[in-house]
Amino acid sequence: MNKVSSKAHIMSNVKIGYYTVIEENVQIGKNSTVGNNVTIYRGTIIGENVRIDDNTVIGKQPMRAVTSAISDGKEQIPANIGDGSIIGTSSIIYAGCNIGRDCLIADLSTVRENVTIGDKTIIGRGVAIENYCEIGSYCKLETNAYITSYSKLEDYVFIAPGVVTSNDNFAGRTKERFKHFKGVTIKRGGRIGAQVTILPGKTIEEDGFVGAGSVVTKNVPKEKIMIGNPIREISNVSEEQLLKNNI
């Protein structure tokens, strides 16, 4: 049995599975599909030709611990899912998110509040994107990557599996840390290899590449390859791998 508010606005040819809850003022565009046991919170806007798989939650308001350093506890605006996007099984999309057109948010992923994701971006299985992040268009974030709060990824960024980013150089100690929270910045065409760790506030410039297993302790220059712990420069990115030659 479903519970669909009489104040929801559901367009033509929308398919809704079993045991799904759709609250008031939700908008679902035509030709969309909503799976089984899905919860869509009030005011959420879902475009046309969107697929939402089983057990997914969309538009959830954030929780705030009394010791939270980032969340302000304010109610967020409704989530917005662009036309043609796919939201995988058991994903959680918080209120305050704006997801572009033709995106894939794969199974078991979490997208926190105050996050924007551009068009045609892939968020892989089990990826976590924390609050106050900007993710560009045509990005690919692979399985189990972690994008910390206050990070910015520009267009065409590639993040391999298991990448970890961070935003707190004080590791949770002293009040001084509240003044210095800063995530990572990965500029257009930046690429990060598997199991890389990026320290707070670091920038990977355009077409910069960090090899697998590295620890990013300093900024990565434009079109340079860096590896190691701590990272060191080893070469230029080859001409055939530059973004301008691949789009």
Asked whether residue 70 carries a pLDDT value surpassing 70, the answer given is no
Asked whether residue 127 is assigned to any structural domain, the reply reads yes
Q: What is the mean pLDDT of the chain?
A: 95
Asked whether residue 215 carries a pLDDT value surpassing 90, the answer given is yes
Model pTM? 0.94
Find out whether 91 and 115 touch, Cβ atoms under 8 Å.
no
What average pLDDT does range 156-180 have in this prediction? Answer: 88
Burial of 69 (0-12, 13-18, 19+ CB in 10 A): middle
Asked whether residue 169 carries a pLDDT value surpassing 90, the answer given is no
pLDDT digits (tens, 9 = 90+) for 5-64: 999 999 999 999 999 999 999 999 999 999 999 999 999 999 999 999 999 999 999 987
Asked whether residue 68 is assigned to any structural domain, the reply reads no
Asked whether residue 147 is assigned to any structural domain, the reply reads yes
List the end-to-end C-alpha distance of the chain, in Å, as a whole number.
47
pLDDT digits (tens, 9 = 90+) for 75-103: 999 999 999 999 999 999 999 999 999 99
**Residue 190 banded pLDDT, cuts 50, 70, 90:** very high
Contacts (Cβ under 8 Å, ≥6 apart) of 17: 34, 35, 36, 37, 38, 54
pLDDT of residue 211: 98
What average pLDDT does range 172-183 have in this prediction? Answer: 81
Angle at 93 between CA 12 and CA 60, to 5 degrees: 95
Asked whether residue 12 is assigned to any structural domain, the reply reads yes
Asked whether residue 143 is assigned to any structural domain, the reply reads yes
**Residue 71 banded pLDDT, cuts 50, 70, 90:** low
Asked whether residue 67 carries a pLDDT value surpassing 70, the answer given is no
Contacts (Cβ under 8 Å, ≥6 apart) of 211: 193, 196, 225, 226, 227, 228, 234
Count CA within 13 A, CB hemisphere, residue 226.
28
Q: Could you tell me what percentage of the chain is helix, strand and coil, using 3-state DSSP and rounding each to the nearest 5?
A: 5, 30, 65
Region for 209 from its dihedrals, namely left if φ exceeds 0, alpha if ψ lies in -120 to 50, beta otherwise:
beta
pLDDT of residue 240: 97
Dihedral sign from CA coordinates of 197, 202, 203, 208 = negative
pLDDT of residue 68: 64
Asked whether residue 166 carries a pLDDT value surpassing 70, the answer given is yes
CATH code of the domain covering residue 183: 2.160.10.10
pLDDT of residue 173: 85
pLDDT of residue 72: 64
Asked whether residue 81 is assigned to any structural domain, the reply reads yes
Number of domains observed in the structure of the chain: 1
Which of 43-47, 177-181, 190-194, 233-237 has the lowest average pLDDT? 177-181
Asked whether residue 70 is assigned to any structural domain, the reply reads no
Range of the domain at 82: 3-63+76-245
Q: Which amino acid is at 159?
A: I
Asked whether residue 71 is assigned to any structural domain, the reply reads no
